[in-house]
């Protein structure tokens, strides 16, 4: 039986990665075989692309970002995601196509349709069973990033960029299928309760 593909999305500072790791532990305790991965960086090539994309010294056009992310995604889909799903794992991924749509398509101005065309091959090969989109208002998200000492090229963007990203995720959840938006401004446990609810609903539907 094919596994399930769950993607965590959201603006930086929304607590996305924290919730992903909690869900990983939760599902393993329930007996599921789980693999966690991320984009960019889920393969050796992807790791090198990630370092380049997040290096504060590197300045690049939004389309360049999108093309690098597509290269990362090609390696990731082929060598990690599809094989794990074929083996029946629940695959939990930190970012996928929606992030490209929001960060490069909207916030960088490349255009949603251009990003969708670039990523159409991946949509045809592999669609997530569930997108969990966590959002926190930019002023709260930026405060969290500063408290955590985040200094990569995306995290240190100005408030206008973070606002575009936040609004972008609010937009895409209305447009794309299998997306659930969860407000992530409460405590970690409060947010986790909402996340578990939608994950349980997905997995119970297959039992």
**What's the CA angle centered on 117, arms 114 and 122, to 5 degrees?**
135
Count CB-CB contacts under 10 A for residue 198: 15
Q: How far apart are CA 108 and CA 91, in angstroms?
A: 29
CA atoms within 13 A on the CB side of 161: 12
Asked whether residue 167 is marked as a ligand-binding residue, the answer is no
Q: Give the SS3 label for residue 76.
A: helix
What backbone phi and psi angles, to 5 degrees, belong to 47? Answer: -60, -40
Asked whether residue 11 is marked as a ligand-binding residue, the answer is yes
Asked whether residue 15 is marked as a ligand-binding residue, the answer is yes
Asked whether residue 88 is marked as a ligand-binding residue, the answer is no
Asked whether residue 17 is marked as a ligand-binding residue, the answer is yes
Asked whether residue 100 is marked as a ligand-binding residue, the answer is no
Known binding-site residue numbers: 10-17
For the annotated binding site for ATP, the residues are 10-17
């Amino acid at each position: 039986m094919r596994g399930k593909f769950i993607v965590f999305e959201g603006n930086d500072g929304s607590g996305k990665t924290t919730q992903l790791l909690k869900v990983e532990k939760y599902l393993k305790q329930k007996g599921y075989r789980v693999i966690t991965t991320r984009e960019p960086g889920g393969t050796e090539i992807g790791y090198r692309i990630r370092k380049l994309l997040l290096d504060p010294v590197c300045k690049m056009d939004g389309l360049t970002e999108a093309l690098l992310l597509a290269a990362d995604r090609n390696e990731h889909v082929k060598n990690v995601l599809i094989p794990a799903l074929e083996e029946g794992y629940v695959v939990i991924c930190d970012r996928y196509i929606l992030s490209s749509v929001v960060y490069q398509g909207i916030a960088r101005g490349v255009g949603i349709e251009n990003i969708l065309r670039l990523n159409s091959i991946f949509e045809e090969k592999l669609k997530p069973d569930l997108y969990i989109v966590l959002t926190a208002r930019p002023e709260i998200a930026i405060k969290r990033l500063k408290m955590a000492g985040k200094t990569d090229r995306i995290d240190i963007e100005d408030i206008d960029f973070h606002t575009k990203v936040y609004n972008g995720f609010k937009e895409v959840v209305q447009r794309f299928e299998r997306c659930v938006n969860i407000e992530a401004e409460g405590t970690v446990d409060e947010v986790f309760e909402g996340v578990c609810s939608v994950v349980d609903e997905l997995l119970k539907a297959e039992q």
